[in-house]
Structure 1
Amino acid sequence: MPDHPPTPLLTHPVLSASVPRASLVRLGHTGSADIVTRILRLARRDASTVRITEYDITDPFWLLRAGELDVMVAKFGVREPDLVSSRVLTQDARAAVVGAHHPLARCSSVSVEDVADFPVLDRPDLFPAEIWDEVVPRHTPSGLPLRRAYRLTGVPELMRLLTASTAVHLSVLSVADVAPPTVRVLPVHDLPPASVTLVWRRGDVPAQVLEFVVAAEAGAAQ
């Protein structure tokens, strides 16, 4: 499909004032806004037709289940019985996030086998265990265990931990767009990329949400 210039993301409600509230798609995301921009391009949608809200990674589905979001951008496989996922729309390469003074910080890329030498993060209490096993595998491909020594309690706390320790957080490469200068985001060349999908509640779905999902899937198929 032709390449389009990035679409500015909605930053203030006044930008969508001309769009009827019933036609707005309330879209949740976390991390880099670049993934949202990619999906809007696939769906050929203007950002004024969506209201973008960042959700809390420690309890990722709360806003969706509470009816505060219509649909959310998800990474890795979602297998919640009350939620439905679109086809894979794009991918996000894997990365290791470390403090700027970490022994791995000067590497241009790392292997997940290298990560096994350092403690990693365990899942937040409300984060689904089966999804976290994709984010942070329990073992490397060669069978080395990854030591989940610290629990992820929030992004600010995570960045402070990485800055002050030798811990490593396995994440996605797009996090580099929002990472502070106190950390380094290193490509991991031997983990498969994260699949990126749209996720919504099972049951009655507003027509504009289904139209948005179908358009994004069609754009990804081209």
Structure 2
Amino acid sequence: MPEQTLTAADSRTVRFGYHGSTEVVTRIIRLAGREEAGVRLSEYDIADPFRGVRAGELDVMIVKFGINEPDLVTSRVLTEDARAVVVGSGHPLAARASVSIEELADYDAFAPPGDFPAYVWDDVVPPRTLAGRPIRRNRRVRTIPEMMRMVAAGDAVHISLISLADIAPPGIKVVPIHDLPPAPVTLAWLRGAEVHDHIREFITAAEAEASR
């Protein structure tokens, strides 16, 4: 990881990349026994999620589901994020307490945005339901706001994670999916890069507390 000039105030700051809600991030910070003031959060672009870590701008980033990137290392599973579908408030499923993935095959869903790895998107938005029905991943966007506008208009549904309920804009409902397993949540960082002691301590402490 490229060296940076650090001041006394931020020499132990963890530069932490995340996407979407910060609720899961807060859980991990607590696992690591750190104060939130010692963590500098940066939201990464879902269309190019690993750019910040690869560029040395982030020390660690949050990862949901498994990744297979040769230049990145991941921690043990630290927590989980339950599955949900994001729909417009006027959608037929919006008032439900939960839905089945089988029902979601009746609606258009999204293809991976930008350069988001297709193999990870297969975990986020499975190509088929558990019974084998194809999910129509035919809507294409580059940004989450664009996706949310399309969902709010009722043009598609987004199969995602329950943590999005924390940041859902007006006109959006987040409904649990009761028959998909939760997403495992890990940290990822650049393989072979210099990892400062306070970053190693952060990762190790979070892993140790999560395993209790």
Q: 1:155 to 1:22 in 2, by over 3 A?
A: same
2:211 counterpart of 1:221 = yes
Helix, strand or coil: the match of 2:106?
coil
Q: Does the 8 Å contact 1:73/1:199 carry over to 2?
A: yes
Match of 1:30 in 2: 19
Helix, strand or coil: the match of 2:178?
coil
Aligned residues: 206
In 2: Cα distance, 1:165 partner to 1:180 partner: 14
Q: Does the 8 Å contact 1:98/1:166 carry over to 2?
A: no
Match of 1:78 in 2: 67
In 2: Cα distance, 1:152 partner to 1:176 partner: 20
TM-score normalised to the size of structure 1? Answer: 0.89
In 2: Cα distance, 1:76 partner to 1:152 partner: 21
Could you tell me which runs of 5 or more consecutive residues in structure 2 were left unpaired when the two chains were aligned.
Answer: 1-5
More off after superposition, 43-52 vs 184-193:
43-52
Match of 2:196 in 1: 206
Any residues of structure 2 matched to 1:105-184 within 5 Å, and which? 105-184=94-173
- How far is the alpha carbon of 1:21 from its aligned partner? 2.8
Could you tell me which runs of 5 or more consecutive residues in structure 1 were left unpaired when the two chains were aligned.
Answer: 1-16
TM-score normalised to the size of structure 2? Answer: 0.93
Match of 2:3 in 1: none
Helix, strand or coil: the match of 1:22?
coil
In 2: Cα distance, 1:27 partner to 1:104 partner: 35
Cα displacement string for residues 24-46 of structure 1 (whole angstroms, at most 9, x for unaligned residues)? 11111111111111001111111
Structure 1 residue runs of 4 or more that deviate by more than 6 Å after TM superposition: none
* 1:65 alignment partner, one of 51, 54, 57: 54
The letter of the residue matching 1:196 is V
Task: Give the root-mean-square deviation of aligned CA atoms.
Answer: 1.4
Q: Report percent identity of matched pairs.
A: 54
The letter of the residue matching 1:216 is A
Match of 2:32 in 1: 43
In 2: Cα distance, 1:216 partner to 1:194 partner: 18
In 1: Cα distance, 2:32 partner to 2:26 partner: 10
Any residues of structure 2 matched to 1:86-97 within 5 Å, and which? 86-97=75-86
Helix, strand or coil: the match of 1:23?
coil
- How far is the alpha carbon of 1:108 from its aligned partner? 1.1
- How far is the alpha carbon of 1:19 from its aligned partner? 5.3
Match of 2:45 in 1: 56
